[in-house]
Amino acid sequence: MIDVFDMSLVDWSRGQFALTAMFHWIFVPLTLGLSFIVAFMHTIYVRSGDEAWKRITKFWMKLFGINFAIGVSTGIILEFEFGTNWSNYSWFVGDIFGAPLAIEGILAFFLESTFIAVMFFGWNKVSKRFHLAASWLTAFGANLSAVWILVANAWMQKPVGTAFNPETARNEMTNFWDVIFSDVAVNKFLHTVTSSFLLASVFVIAVSAWFLLRKREVLFAKRSTIVASVFGVIAGFATIFTGDTSARIVARQQPMKFAAMEALYEGQSHAPLVAIGAMRTDTTRQPNPRENFIFKIEIPNALSYMVFLTPSGFVPGISDLVFGNEERGLLSYDEKIERGAVAIQTLKELKRARDRGDDVTYAALLEKFKDPQWLEDYYKHFGYGYYKGRELKELIPNVKMNFYSFHIMVILGIHFLILSLIVLWLSLKNRWGDRKWLLWVALLTLPLPWIASQCGWIVAELGRQPWVVYELMPTLSAVTKLKPGAVQLTFWIFLVTFTALFIAEIRIMLSQIKKGPGGK
């Protein structure tokens, strides 16, 4: 099966999408977090009337504006790619993606773009209160924009609230609320925005540390730091809480991703959590249990506890999921592949019956797609059918990449929280800035939240491979059959364009930071 699918085409298309999404995500989290920090600073200015707070607000608003201006619309490219490179997928999910993205366009984006103009150009032109309201509405608008795209992404991770229409090959929404309030969607949104708030806090703390190291704009830097560290501590705890909930949801909803995140090959009760580890370089995407670590430090029972809130919970490993585990009620991938192939064949016969005008067969086959038992037994495994005759390892995500990305994200997240706590503690005692080495730690932390944030998305997206829509549509059936050369060309165009934008962002940001809050 699937001989006609060219894996180099699939890989280039995936690479192109990943490149675009990762560049887009350089700009977005700073916009989400900094918008609220600016709104808080603006509020302090309006309430206190202190001109020093006005300077502070204007400086961070300027950096927010640079980031927003350079990053805005980079996400549109992803929508271009859906139509060109992922046309089967776009058709398959069309109605589900359509509704959330339309709401994003109409409500959130207009809210954000309308009030952002007032926020930037409203100084001394509109009333102080209206101006402040514009800052808050910009922050809410930016974060509201994120809701809808994350809802769409969550549906791909857990397709709920929909029914597949075999006559049109499209998924149709049956319950809007199930789609937007699925546990994956709610938690994905909360984890994404809180981690973005944390990223922005670290950004403000780090830039302020640079001013303190140079003994410039000390009042500005200390006041900025205290707002950012309060925001950072709250966001840090919220990120860890939502991250923990997220891990629990992933363990139940996408057990293969969870097993890959922990490089757990053999399932076990009292499963330990790998706190730190180094995997062997020759580890491959094989389901066979073997020793894959050069070294690891484990926390006993912690993985079972994390998932089931009891140390005796059984956490399935990669081999349990691939080969099945009757005792634990896990179907083998071979069985799922057989059932998925039946579902694909049924859909194929349905289309043939329609083409030849065989109404009786057509009606009988159509009934299957309305039968809840058949849907549960066969259609649920639809995507596995594409792997008939292929190697089982293709159904296993890249374990090393997931393991390292997950652990880097968690370790860095803890670092950001501890840093925010120390900075807040010292700021409250008016001793932040006394220890030069701590300022250097804060400054050198600057790029790390972006690394953590990108790692989070690598876990989310690479960990669910090979699925585009979980267990229903793999990447290899979602892709448009284009010439790989055409995809490679756009890949390089994007690389050059986005690199230029990234360099522009860094240069303009640095020049404005160097000028300080008094700069033009």
Partner 1 sequence: MTWGKRLWGIILIKLFIMFAILRIFFFPDILKRNFDSDQERSNHVLEQITNP
Q: Looking at beta carbons only, is 244 or 349 nearer to partner 1?
A: 349
In the complex, minimum distance from the CB of residue 61 to partner 1, in angstroms, rounded to a whole number: 12
CA distance 44 to 39: 9
The strand pairing partners of 330, in sequence order, are 325
We find the least distance from the C-beta atom of residue 340 to partner 1, in angstroms, to be 11
Q: CB of residue 462 vs partner 1: minimum separation in angstroms?
A: 22
The answer to whether 72 contacts partner 1 (rule: CB under 8 A) is yes
Binding mask 82-111 for partner 1 (x = CB under 8 A): -xx--xx-xxx-------------------
Residue 174 CB neighbours (<10 A)? 11
Q: How far is the CB of 510 from partner 1 (least distance, A)?
A: 11
Residue with tokens 């805005």: 72
CB of 32 to partner 1, least distance (A): 20
Minimum separation from the CB atom of position 74 to partner 1 (A): 8
Q: How far is the CB of 24 from partner 1 (least distance, A)?
A: 12
Rule CB under 8 A: which of 431-450 touch partner 1? none
Residue of the chain from 347, 412, 417, 439 that contacts partner 1 (CB under 8 A) = 347
**Does residue 57 interact with partner 1 by CB under 8 A?**
no
Is residue 213 part of the contact set for partner 1 (CB under 8 A)? no
Closest by Cα among 407, 394, 410 to 467: 394
N-terminal to C-terminal alpha carbon distance within the chain: 63
Report the C-alpha gap between 403 and 396 in whole angstroms.
Answer: 13
Q: In this chain, which of 190, 251, 424, 476 binds partner 1, going by CB under 8 A? A: 476
Query: According to the binding rule CB under 8 A, does residue 504 interact with partner 1?
Result: yes
73 binds partner 1 (CB under 8 A): yes
What the block records as the tokens of 514 is 């160097």
Contacts of 61 (CB under 8 A, 6+ apart): 38, 42, 119, 120, 135
Structure tokens at 20: 């675009």
* 325 binds partner 1 per the rule CB under 8 A: no
Binding mask 350-379 for partner 1 (x = CB under 8 A): -x----------------------------
Residue with tokens 């029972």: 301
Task: By CB under 8 A, name the one of 7, 48, 50, 76 that touches partner 1.
Answer: 76
Name 297's bridge partners: 276
Q: Residue 388: which residues within 8 A CB-CB, separation 6 or more?
A: 1, 337, 338, 340, 341
Contact between 8 and partner 1 by CB under 8 A: the answer reads no
Taking the least distance from each CB to partner 1, the nearer of 16 and 292 is: 16
Per the listing, tokens 């309006």 go with: 46
Give the CA distances from residue 391 to residues 155, 307, 402, 473, in Å, rounded to whole numbers and listed in that order. Answer: 27, 30, 20, 17
Sequence-separated (6 or more) residues with CB below 8 Å from residue 150: 185, 188, 189, 192
- The 3-state DSSP composition of the chain as helix, strand, coil percent (nearest 5) reads 70, 5, 20
Q: How far is the CB of 500 from partner 1 (least distance, A)?
A: 9
Distance (Å, whole) CA 17 – CA 45: 42
Site for partner 1 in 148-187 (CB under 8 A): 167-170
Q: Site residues (CB under 8 A) for partner 1? A: 1-2, 4-5, 62, 65-66, 69-70, 72-73, 76-77, 80-81, 83-84, 87-88, 90-92, 167-170, 344-345, 347-348, 351, 385-386, 473, 476-477, 480-482, 486, 489-490, 493, 497, 501, 504, 508, 511-512, 520
